[in-house]
Structure formats: structure tokens, C-alpha cells
Structure 1
Amino acid sequence: MLTITQAFVVLIIFLLIVEFFKLQKARKQFPPGPAPLPLLGNLVHLKFQFHRDLLMELAKTHGNIYTLWFGWAPVIILNGYQAVKDGMTTHPEDVSGRMVSPFFRAMAKGKGIILASGRSWKQQRRFGIMTLRCLGMGKKGLEYRVQEEASHLVDVFVNLKGRPVDPSFPLFHSISNVICALVFGYHFSDEDKTFHELISATETLFRFAGSFVHQLYEIFPWLVCRLPGPHKKALSCYDVLSSFARKEIRRHVERGIPDEPQDFIDFYLAEMEKSKDGAKPKYDEDNLVYVINDLFLGGSETSSTTLYWGLLYMVVNPDIQEKVQKELDAVLGPSQLICYEDRRKLPYTNAVVHEIQRFSNIVFVGMPRMCVRDTTLLGFPVKKGTIIMPNIASVLYDPEQWETPRQFNPGHFLDKEGNFIPREAFLPFSAGHRVCLGEHLARTELFIFFANLLRAFTFRLPEGVMKINTEPIFGGTLQPHPYSVCAIPR
């Protein structure tokens, strides 16, 4: 006779075997991929981490479109430029949905822009783009804000008088103040305690995203959400951002909506007033809170992290830094205001900025998409509700598209005569209907900030420091290991 314990073990083994065969049957409906295990799916194949190089290695075995399983959830991975481009742009409307995973549902409730889907996403995104244009995106008005913040950042480094500094905070502060001026109508000072709290909350969120505990939460939400751990802190950090957004909304409401809206919140509140009599208002305070969070996170973290990598690459490649400075000196005056349009006269500097984005590859996989209807993806039939994940790293490192994909090489964006050439495989902002809505702002910021910094300073390692770690720290974005530099006035 079997004991109760032995019977329980036999039952568990039997259920796992049944589960295994169910998975093998289910995977026949999707593009090929490594065989999933019960409960864990392909986490063993991924070594329990979502690493860009592992995704590219799996593509060598299974092809540029393959399926990974996270528990019982299949995810189709697109690898390489052609697969990502065709998958995102052949039927862009079909793959414009957003996977609202358990953690992100707990965080943003499927509202806002980045984590929304369907009609709500279309409405919020359309309104966001229109309002940012009204506030000057793509025009001289917004460019002036960027120039102001770049000038302030130069002053910060001047005041350091060549002393070593970790440039992470000054970069984040200056970049973030551009989007803060647009959304809130004012800038934060360097010492503002609230701003430091927002930065700390942002850093915690991005560190948690993509971590092992985050993956466990997505697979076993019913279990992990009841346990203590870093997921609790991440959710509380998002609440910090939401609480600040609500305070700003209340401040705007108490002040009253001006006849001519001055910032994003003014525009949104005016739109809420217009639509309040509708059966289902398109615009409400909850959506505004999450849109503000999206704009703050997306408009601060990505550009500042890219510049953080950029200064690191200049220290590691002093010859490239020197060539940028020579071009800036030859084309621009020492006090001339640098405009985004100047990139046309500065092909080498423009190429270096693009190469910083390509090589740092800070968002190594695009945010997961979801099929909103049955469709075909690279010849494979794909059902509505299927999750699609474009591996952006595989595009920016595609050996068929880049001459030296694993080297920092501004020549990727230059022809033989030294003229700047755009590259189709340059997709750091993703592609299709979900392409980054702040792309133009990010491009403007990166060029103007970078050109201002290198015209004013030469960046070097502190005395006695011989090496610097260029490997990324994996999280919501790929961060450099903390480092210090000396900004030597030129």
C-alpha cells in the first residue's frame, strides 16, 4: 500500500506528465522553439533571465521567428532586422495591442499610453501626440527648452572645476526637466527633495523590470503577489509617481484652466471638461495620472541613460571624442547656440550620437505587442491574443546590417566621403504603430546635449583610474555600471 506522501508524489508526477504532453500539443500551433517544461516553460533554456544574447543564440537554432513559453503563456520572438521590420510593419494594425501582464496590470491598470491597448490606447496616444505638438514638439519653442537645459548642464560641470563626478544625476535632472516643463509647467531645482524621491522611485522601477522576481510574478502572480519581496517595493514606487501626479493635477484644478493652456495637464483638463457629458468619458483623472507617469518615465530615463553611455564611450574612445571636438570647433563658434538643424553640418558628430544609441541598445527588447486579430506573421498563422516580442538588440547588432556590430564604430553612419547616411536597421525607437511617440524630442535632446557637452569639455577618467566597466546592468533599461569622470574645460 502506498502511503499518503507516496500517493501525493505519484499524483504530482502524473499531473506534470499530463501537463508536459498538453504543452507539446499546444506548441504545434505556434512557430517552432525549444520544448517547454511544465510550470516553468522555457525559463530553464533562458537560464532564468531574459538576456539579449541568449535570445539571439536561440534564433541560430530555431530561426528568426520562434516561440518561448513562460509557464503556459507562449511568446513569439522576432529576431534580426528583417523579421522585426516585417513583423511590426507588414500588418501594423494587427500587432498594435499591448500585453497587459499581471505585474503591469497591478501597476498601471491598463491605462495611460505605454501599457494601454485598444480604443483607449488610440485615444490617449493621439491626444498625447497632438498636445506635445501644440507645446512645441518638432518646433523651435521646444528646442529652446532643450537648449536651456543643455546650457544649465554645462554650468553644472563648469562649477565642478574638473573634479570627478558620477554624471548620472546631472544628466537625468537636465533631461527630465525638459519633459517636466512640458507636463507640469515648471522645472525642478537640483536640490528639490520631491525630485530626488521621483528619481529614486524611477531607478527602483527600472531595476525591478526584467529581474528574476519580475519574471516569477508574471508566471505565478497568484502566489508572488501574496509574498514579500522587491515587487512590493516596485509597486509602491509607482504609487509615489502616481501620488505626485495627482498632487499636480489638484494644483492645476485649484489654479483653474487658463484660456490658453500652458502645459500638458492644462490641455488634458480642458479635454476632460469637454468630454464629461459623454456616456463614457474618454478622458478622466486616472488616465491622466498614468499618461503623466508614462511621459515622465519615458521622457527621462531613456535619453539620460543613452547620454550616460555616451560619456562612457567618449572616455573609452578618446580618439573619437577628439574628432567630434575638432568638427564642432571647425563648424560652430564657441558661444553659438547649437540647434538640431546643425546636425546636417556636423555629420561625424551626428554619426557618433546615432552609434551611441545603436551600441548602447538600452531597450534591448521592445515592449511586448499583442495581436488584436488573427493574422499572419512571416508566413505563420497567428491567433488573436498572441504575444509578440521584437528583439531590438538583434536588429541593432544584426551582422547582415552592420559591418562591425559588436564594436563602437561611428563609420556605420558615414559614407566614404564622410557624409552622414541614415540606416534602415536603426530602430532604437521600435517600429509600426507602437513606435515611440517622443522620438523627435529624444533625437533633439541627444544631439543638442551631446554637442554642447563635447564643445565645452574633454571627458577623462579620474586620476589613477585605468579601467572602466563597459558591460551593461540588465533591468528595464540597460544601464552602465556607475562610473566617475572629470569634465575638463576646453
Structure 2
Amino acid sequence: MIELVLPDLSIAPTILTLICLLLFYTWYRRPSRFPPGPRGFPIVGVLPFLEKYSERTMHKWSKKYGPVMSVRMGNEDWVVMGNYEAVYQSFVKAGSAFSGRPYMKLANEITECKGLVMRDFNPTWKTQRKFGHLTFRGFGVGKKSLEDRIYEEVEVMNKEILSKGGKPFDISEILTNAVMNVICNITADQRFEYDDKNFRLLQHILTKWFLEPENTAAFANMIFVPLLCNIPPYRSKYLEVKRDMMQMADVFQELVDQHRISFDKNNIRDFIDAFICEVDNGKDDSFTDRQLVQYLREIFEAGTQTTTGTLNWAILCLIHYPQAQKKLRNEILDVIGNNNRPSISDRKSMPFTSAFIQEVFRFRTRVRTGVPHKTTETVNFANYVIPKGTTIVANLWAVHNDPDVWDEPSKFKPERHLDDKGNFVQSKHVIPFSVGPRHCLGEQLARMKIFIFLVSMVQKFEFLPDPNEPDLPEIDDGVIGNGFFPYPFNFVANEIHASYLTVHIVGYRRLCLIHYPDAQKKIREEIFAAIGNNNRPSISDRKAMPFTSAFIQEVFRFRTRVPLGVQHMTTETVNFANYVIPKGTTILANMWAVHNDPDVWDEPSKFKPERHLDDKGNFVQSNHVIPFSVGPRHCLGEQLARMEIFIFLVSMVQKFEFLPDPNEPDLPEINDGVKGNGFFPYPFNFVASEI
């Protein structure tokens, strides 16, 4: 018996080797004409090599394997589209073949295979997608326009920001509350008070699984690697996230039940009413309460994540790039002023704002590899054969950082989206909402929310770093999970005031008009020639009124309102002009000296508006007139102040002639004034005769 066994044992290593080779060959081989790519290790595939930023690792691989490549994810072969052309050709040109949705255990269990996001590409998906598209697009939803619903919450949000009193705070919760209430207004025609228990529950769950680093990473890992759902410590997270999502579903079911009680088919108020109407019509059995509940959950999740994530990144960019913030605010004040409500229709007149938002979309891609697609049939694509049922991923980060498209893609440059004339250029290479039949349903609403929220905040507040933190908040790293969000950060939001500055500068203008009647006459003649006696002045008239602009600039120079500026301080020891200035040294800028430098100004003690005109009578903007200071800490309200001063002055001179008080033998003093936190004329009376 032993002799019979030994020969078998002697060939065991050979048999074992053959089995291993066969398993390795089975593992390593690809379908015929399948795209090339890395294989990784058996069972786990390339997962150990993906690192934190998987999209960047895939981008490196694509340089070797090409823009259409495969990766072995666990025991499945996925295909990655690595540039715009590959994404466009697959998701748009061959959209029907690439619009399926792979089965993903946790996501499908949460949705109960209902809703819209995780449904496969089939007639039911098309019906539900069409309903959502028409309902969002059609009537706003209900009697209020989308803008009305957004702006209602914007006003509440701005009050919340104002309540911080200029102290450092984290805006994430305020933004989440505001965005969620916009969505609630659209879907359920109501807004929650921020202390409502159901609202707090929704806010808590969304923050927990989409913003908290540990939980959002675990959530994403379980979706993409289903095996983890059964392995500690992920098992407890798996049960926890399912329980939380069921609690969300219960809140939405309660909303649906409330709507059924008050439903009137002749008064469709919102998304829920529109859906109930379809349920009651009974023409399509995919319209059910459970479908509606999952639809609502997806709208809340996706709508909240997209807008809050983008706005958080936008605010962080404003803090990191103060010159962009200044330029953005100047454009806002030029186009809509300080108090007018922003409208999406203003966007066409605000090219830099549009460029800034598009650059945020590009610079910080929120869903870096999109939501996975699946081929619905075997496809011949880019000289490869991709079998039916293959998972497809679009590397949106790679599209947004393609060096063949973008100059210095790692840098934040809103100007890249402007042409030579300063017009905004919509780029087909910026696709944060994906493209094709399965692009984000709420894209239009999201773009509207982001524009109105951002413009409203920048219009009212200046965003500054937290003075208690020595370093700016991190912008090159963030929370990775089902999206890409900045790490929590504090900042200061200072309310913008400009009226105080304007009133006192206009006071000196009136005094100069009285002292120099020839200048007053010349301004009035120019006003009548440019806009007449009855037309309302506009800031756009300024370019046709060179003497008026010269007069205003000369008042800025002649009577410097803040002679020594506001004190600065060195933030580090500096070698400057062959001197060493220690950290913490107080710095003063003698603005009066700049405005009265005899090496720059001929007879600086005299009031001569003509000094700011060239030989042809054109106005010359001088970089030596700096009443609002210069640099990162120049006056935040400069643009608004300039606008107010121009319009106030022109409006008054257009309607009135300013004359000395006949009861006072001497003209009011112009070479002296009240000194304190500024320089103001002494109180004086004058006569204003209507023209």
C-alpha cells in the first residue's frame, strides 16, 4: 500500500504547480480584444495599488496603457475612460450601449432597486428620468419660481452668517441646512425650521456619511468592495448605514403621507404632488410610494452633496486667492449692486463670476470618477471589444487635469475660462455632472443654486482666514469617499459696509464744487451732454464723462480721507529696502504723502482736476491716487464706494447748483478739517438751487 501511495506523492508538487498556473492563467487572461491594463494580484486585483487618490493613480496608468484601459477590481474587469474624447464617445455618442448601471450590493440594498440612480438602463428608468426632468424643468416646481425658492433660503443663510459677528466659524452646517431647505421647498413645498427633529435627523445622517472622513471612506469602500460588508469592522458600519438610510426613508414616507391627505389634483404644489398625480393616474406601475420615497432620498443626497461641496471649495478658493475674491465682488457690485437680489439672468453680464465657478468645478472635481456605468450590450469601441455587462468608469478628474487641454492644470486660474475680450467661454472639457443620458438630473438646479448662493454671499461678506490659525486651510487635500470635500475649516465673514466712507467723501466733493464754480459748471455741462437733465445716471456713463472722473480723482488726491491709512503689521521678519524689519512691527502708509509728492504732482497743494486728463481730454487713471490703499488689505468696499460716489455726485449736480451760504461772508474752510479716524470737512451750510 505504501508503495502505491509514494508515487502519487512524488508528483503532487507538479500537480499543485499546474493547478496554480491554471488559476493564474484564468485570473490573468482577458476577454478577446479587451483593453489593456494592470491586473494586480489574484482576488484583490489592483485595489492595493490605488492609494488615496485612485483617480490620479489611474491617470498615471493611462499614460502607459492609453485613454481606454482596463483594471482588475477585485475579481472583475472594469474599463476606465481616461480623457474627454473617450468619455464623450462612450457616454454620448454610444450612450445607449454605455448607460447601464452595475449591481452594487450596498447601494442596491439601500435603494431597494428603486429610485433613479441605481436603476439599470431600461424602460422604467427612462420613464422615471423623463418625469423628473419635466417636473424640475416645467414649472419651477409649483407656483413659485426656482429662483424664489432659492432666494428665500439665501436670506435666512445670510442672517445666520451675520449672527457670527465676524468671529471664526465653520459654514458647513449652515450651508447644509440652507441647501436642504431649498430641496425640501421644491420637493415638498415647505421649509423646515432648523431645530425640527426630522430636519436635524436628515442633516445628521447626510453629514455623517458624506462629510465625516472615517464614515464616508467606509461607505465608499463598502460600495465598491462588497466583500467588506461581511468583514469586521466594516460589518458594523454596513448595518449602521442601512439603519440610517431606513430612518431617512421613514422621514420621506411621512412627507408623502402628509401630502396624500392634502392632495388636490387641480393644485399641484411640488414634486411630491406631481408624482402622486402619476400614481393615481395608474398608467405606469413604476409610480409607487416606495419609488417616490427612494426618489426623494436620492434628490436630497445628491442635491445636498453637490451644492454644499462645491460652495465649500469655492469659499476655500476665495480665501486662498483674495485677488480673485476682490475681482468677483467688484463684478457683482458693478452688475447688481450691494442690495439688489441676484438672478440667474445676471450670469451673462458676469463673465468672471462664471469663470470662477467653472474653475472651481474643474480644479476640485467633486465626484472624481463619476458613478459607474455598465455596458448594455457587447460594444466595438476604440478598436477594442467590451463585453456586455462590463463596468465602465469615467475619470472626470483626468478630464479636468489633462495637460493637453489645460495649461498648468494644478493651478487655480479662473482667467483660463475668459477669451481675449474678457468674455466667458463655456468649456466642454469641464463636466462635473458627467455627460450623456445618465448625466446628473439636477444639473440645472445645482448650477442655479451654486450661482445664487455664491453671489449672494460674496455680495454681502468678505471671507478671511481664521486669525487664530497660522496656516490657511488645506486646499490640496480633502475628504475622500462618495465625493470629494474640503476638510472642515473655520474662517471669518465680515459684513461689507461702504456708505460711511461714501457720505464723507461726497461731503468734500460738495465743498470743492462751491470753492471751484468753474469746475462745477464744467461737470454739469458734461453731464447734460452725456445723459441730459432727466435721464438716470449709470456707472456705465463714466467712460463718456472724463472731466467728472478727473474731478473725483482729484478730490481723492487733494483731500486724503485716511491720511495714514489703517495700521498694518509684519507677519514675519522682512529684508526690505536694505533694512531688516522684525516680525510684529507696526507699518504705516503715508497716503497724504503719496498724494502730495512733488516728484509726481505739479503744485500738489492746488486743486486741479485737469491734471488727470491727457492732451486729448481723456481721463487718465493714476496709480498714484490710492485713497482705498492697495494690496490684500485694501478697502473691501472700494468698488461699491466708487460707484456710489459717482452716482450720488452726478445726480446732485444734474439737478442742483451748489452756492455759498449768503449769510456767511467767507467760503467754508477747505484747507482744514476734522481729524480723527479720518479727515472730514468742518460742518458747513450751502444753498442748492434747483436747475
Both proteins in one fold, TM over 0.5: yes
Instruction: Choose the corresponding residue for 2:453, options 434, 443, 449.
Output: 449
Instruction: Choose the corresponding residue for 1:90, options 84, 89, 93.
Output: 93
**Aligned residue type for 1:202:** L
> Alpha carbon RMSD of aligned pairs, Å?
2.6
Deviation at residue 211 of structure 1 after TM alignment: 4.0
> How far does the alpha carbon of each residue in 1:192-235 deviate from its partner, in whole angstroms, 9 at most, with x for none?
23222112212333355554872587352684499733222222
> How far does the alpha carbon of each residue in 1:162-212 deviate from its partner, in whole angstroms, 9 at most, with x for none?
111100011111112111111122111222232221122123333555548
Within 5 Å, give how 1:224-239 maps onto structure 2.
224=231, 228-239=235-246
Residue 260 of structure 2: aligned partner = 253
Residue 473 of structure 1: aligned partner = 479
Instruction: Choose the corresponding residue for 2:272, options 254, 265, 270.
Output: 265
- What TM-score comes out, normalization by structure 2 length? 0.66
Change (3 A) 1:213 1:271: closer
**Aligned residue type for 1:153:** M
Change (3 A) 1:402 1:233: same
Q: How many residues align?
A: 482
Within 5 Å, give how 1:144-183 maps onto structure 2.
144-183=148-187
Change (3 A) 1:299 1:16: farther
Residue 110 of structure 1: aligned partner = 113
Measured in 2, the distance between the counterparts of 1:127 and 1:237 equals 28
Measured in 2, the distance between the counterparts of 1:396 and 1:10 equals 51
> How far does the alpha carbon of each residue in 1:322-362 deviate from its partner, in whole angstroms, 9 at most, with x for none?
11111112222221111011111111111111111211211
Instruction: Choose the corresponding residue for 2:293, options 289, 292, 302.
Output: 289
Change (3 A) 1:383 1:165: same
**Aligned residue type for 1:69:** R
CA contact (8 A) 1:370 1:388 kept: yes
Measured in 1, the distance between the counterparts of 2:164 and 2:229 equals 50
CA contact (8 A) 1:368 1:390 kept: yes
Measured in 2, the distance between the counterparts of 1:342 and 1:268 equals 32
Change (3 A) 1:188 1:216: closer
Corresponding position: 1:25 with 2:29: yes
Residue 60 of structure 1: aligned partner = 63
Instruction: Choose the corresponding residue for 1:218, options 192, 203, 225.
Output: 225
> How far does the alpha carbon of each residue in 1:279-338 deviate from its partner, in whole angstroms, 9 at most, with x for none?
x71211121111111111111111111001111111111111111111112222221111
Measured in 2, the distance between the counterparts of 1:105 and 1:242 equals 14
2:98 partner SS: coil
Measured in 2, the distance between the counterparts of 1:284 and 1:61 equals 49
Deviation at residue 420 of structure 1 after TM alignment: 0.7
> How far does the alpha carbon of each residue in 1:95-147 deviate from its partner, in whole angstroms, 9 at most, with x for none?
11111211212221221111111222111111111111234169981111112
Measured in 1, the distance between the counterparts of 2:232 and 2:274 equals 37
CA contact (8 A) 1:351 1:414 kept: yes
Change (3 A) 1:193 1:105: same
Measured in 2, the distance between the counterparts of 1:11 and 1:211 equals 41
Change (3 A) 1:10 1:434: farther
Deviation at residue 44 of structure 1 after TM alignment: 2.6
Residue 678 of structure 2: aligned partner = none
Change (3 A) 1:12 1:311: farther
**Aligned residue type for 2:263:** G
CA contact (8 A) 1:103 1:214 kept: no
Change (3 A) 1:213 1:430: closer
1:469 partner SS: coil
Measured in 1, the distance between the counterparts of 2:315 and 2:229 equals 43
Change (3 A) 1:374 1:160: same
1:166 partner SS: coil
Change (3 A) 1:14 1:484: farther
Deviation at residue 157 of structure 1 after TM alignment: 1.1
Residue 71 of structure 1: aligned partner = 74
CA contact (8 A) 1:70 1:219 kept: no
Measured in 2, the distance between the counterparts of 1:373 and 1:64 equals 21
Change (3 A) 1:309 1:37: same
Higher-Rg member (1/2): 2
Instruction: Choose the corresponding residue for 2:323, options 312, 319, 325.
Output: 319
Measured in 1, the distance between the counterparts of 2:219 and 2:147 equals 40
Corresponding position: 1:80 with 2:80: no
- What TM-score comes out, normalization by structure 1 length? 0.92
2:474 partner SS: coil
Measured in 2, the distance between the counterparts of 1:319 and 1:226 equals 46
CA contact (8 A) 1:364 1:392 kept: yes
Measured in 2, the distance between the counterparts of 1:228 and 1:20 equals 30
CA contact (8 A) 2:222 2:238 kept: no
Instruction: Choose the corresponding residue for 1:133, options 131, 134, 137.
Output: 137
Deviation at residue 440 of structure 1 after TM alignment: 0.9
Measured in 2, the distance between the counterparts of 1:130 and 1:360 equals 30
Corresponding position: 1:101 with 2:96: no
Deviation at residue 464 of structure 1 after TM alignment: 2.9
Q: Structure 2: state its 5+ residue gaps.
A: 7-11, 497-691
Deviation at residue 384 of structure 1 after TM alignment: 1.4
2:97 partner SS: coil
CA contact (8 A) 1:202 1:237 kept: no
CA contact (8 A) 1:71 1:219 kept: no
**Aligned residue type for 1:37:** F
1:93 partner SS: helix
Corresponding position: 1:482 with 2:488: yes
Question: Whose RCO is larger (CA < 8 A, sep 6+)?
Answer: 1
Change (3 A) 1:62 1:52: same
**Aligned residue type for 1:170:** I
Instruction: Choose the corresponding residue for 1:328, options 328, 332, 356.
Output: 332
**Aligned residue type for 2:41:** L
Q: Structure 1: state its 5+ residue gaps.
A: 3-7
CA contact (8 A) 2:82 2:395 kept: yes
Change (3 A) 1:212 1:134: closer
Change (3 A) 1:41 1:156: same
* Farther off after superposition, 28-37 or 428-437: 28-37
